[in-house]
Structure 1
């Protein structure tokens, strides 16, 4: 079986700890439930991701070198 999360085209996915998450939510003045969603079964998620976690995704960007997005893990 191929581990999709390790493919070179899949951006880095990291589960945020509560302290970092609280800082992100405060910066954007939003609640966790207002974040875009990602399904728990998504093969790109790290093995330690659980429903309710927030994942930081760092993608390559032509204009800003890196684009950082956040997703709430849902069922």
Structure 2
């Protein structure tokens, strides 16, 4: 079986630690539940991601070189 998370076209996904998350939520003046969602069954998620974690996704971008987005893991 192919590990989709290791494919070269899948952007980097990582679990955000609570310290970094507090800074992000304060910067944007939002709550964790205001973040866009990603399902736990998504094959690109790291194996250690659990429901309630926040995932940082770093994508290549034509305009800013790289784009960082955050998603809340849901069931």
Q: Give your verdict on TM over 0.5.
A: yes
Any unmatched runs of 5+ in structure 1? none
Structure 2: runs of 5+ lacking an equivalent: none
Counterparts of 1:12 and 1:41 in 2: how far apart (Å)?
17
CA RMSD of aligned residues (A): 0.3
Cα distance between partner residues in 1 of 2:14 and 2:20: 11
Using structure 1 for the length normalisation, give the TM-score. Answer: 0.99
| 2:72 is aligned with 1:67 | no
Matching of residue 34 in structure 1 with residue 34 in structure 2: yes
| Structure-2-length-normalised TM-score | 0.99
Runs of 4+ in 1 over 4 A off after TM superposition: none
